[in-house]
Amino acid sequence: MNSICAGCSVQIRDRYMLQAVGKFWHEDCLKCVCCLCRLGELGSKLYYKQSMILCARDYLRLFGLTGTCAACDKNIPAFELVMRAKDNVYHLRCFACQVCNQRFCIGDKFYLCENKILCQYDFEERVTFHQAAYNNQNLAKLTKNIEQLENFESVLILIKEILDLKS
């Protein structure tokens, strides 16, 4: 087979050749147009857009969709490493407790509470606060019920006194 390399326009006489985007290539000639990395390695992906052959990183850099960081609300380039918590995406630098700004290390516990990431300490503080607020609400209701009960007892005493007067 007399194939001409699409990269260097020289006849391919090698034992192996590559076929990509409908053309034949020497193993050393199939490269990303941006970074010139070889794309003929086993398992490597290549992308073809606007007449450019690209590696995955450069394709994402040029054409990839960006997301928005849940902490700072700024765009995240598609090739940038991110942290995720459920549906939220974060820059690595933004993946920190949103109360005390403590950055998380590998193995640290974090909590997603009302769409904010919290360290264990601030999560426990928030839970304690909510429990105290809940207990205060219950105490207020209980106090109101006692006052109503005392008023009811007063009414009963008044009724009893009225009935005693009639008898």
Give Cα 131 to chain centroid, integer Å: 28
Burial per residue of 101-119, b for 16 or more beta-carbon CB atoms within 10 angstroms, e otherwise: ebebeeeeebbeeeebbbb
| pLDDT score of 52 | 93
* Rounded average pLDDT over 27-35: 93
| Residues of the chain above pLDDT 70, percent | 74
In this predicted model, what pLDDT tens digit does every residue of 91-104 receive, in sequence order?
A: 999 999 999 999 98
User: Looking at the predicted structure, is the pLDDT value of residue 24 above 80?
Assistant: yes
Work out the widest C-alpha separation in the chain, in whole angstroms.
126
Domain at 3-63, CATH from 2.30.30.90, 3.40.50.11540, 2.10.110.10, 1.20.140.10:
2.10.110.10
> Hey, what amino acid is at 127?
V
- Per-residue pLDDT band for 26 (boundaries 50, 70, 90) equals very high
CATH number assigned to the domain with residue range 67-122, chosen from the 4 options 2.10.110.10, 3.40.190.10, 3.40.50.970, 2.40.170.20: 2.10.110.10
Q: Does residue 6 contact residue 17 with C-beta atoms inside 8 Å?
A: no
Q: What is the pLDDT of residue 81?
A: 83
Whole-number average pLDDT of the chain? 82
Domain residue ranges of the chain, discontinuous segments joined by +: 3-63, 67-122
Same fold, 3-63 and 67-122: yes
Residue 130 tokens read as 């909510």
> Which amino acid appears at position 167 of this protein?
S
Q: Does 162 have pLDDT greater than 70?
A: no
* Mean pLDDT value of segment 134-159: 63
